[in-house]
Amino acid sequence: MMEDVKKKAKKMREKRIQFLYRLYDLADGDVRKWVDAFHIARELEFDEATIDTIIVYFRIKGFLQTEGFGRFFYNVRISPAGVDYIEETMSEQGNW
């Protein structure tokens, strides 16, 4: 049972990171630029429930802001905290 939880947690963490990196990329790191979250979801092949979970998580964490909600549109923009997280992570991994 514990192994199942670990696998699920690892998979969700990977999806969250993929989403945030893609948001950063599409916005060119610009905290003013809105991006269609469902566009990212389609690119990453995430279903609606997964993308909603990811967005709520990052909104609460303060890594992104949202505009609109639901099936028809869901615009997001990365926050300064989200930009800092991505850039610090890339720096720590030696990607800069």
pLDDT in single tens digits along all 96 residues of the chain: 888 999 999 999 999 999 999 999 999 999 999 999 999 999 999 998 999 999 999 999 999 999 876 555 689 999 999 999 999 998 877 765
- Evaluate if pTM is beyond 0.85: yes
Do residues 38 and 52 make contact, with C-beta atoms less than 8 angstroms apart? no
Helix then strand then coil, in percent of the chain rounded to 5, is 60, 10, 25
Residue at 85: amino acid letter = Y
**Please, what are the domains in the chain?**
2-92 (1.10.10.10)
List residues bridging with 75 in a β-sheet. Answer: 36, 67
Do residues 73 and 15 make contact, with C-beta atoms less than 8 angstroms apart? no
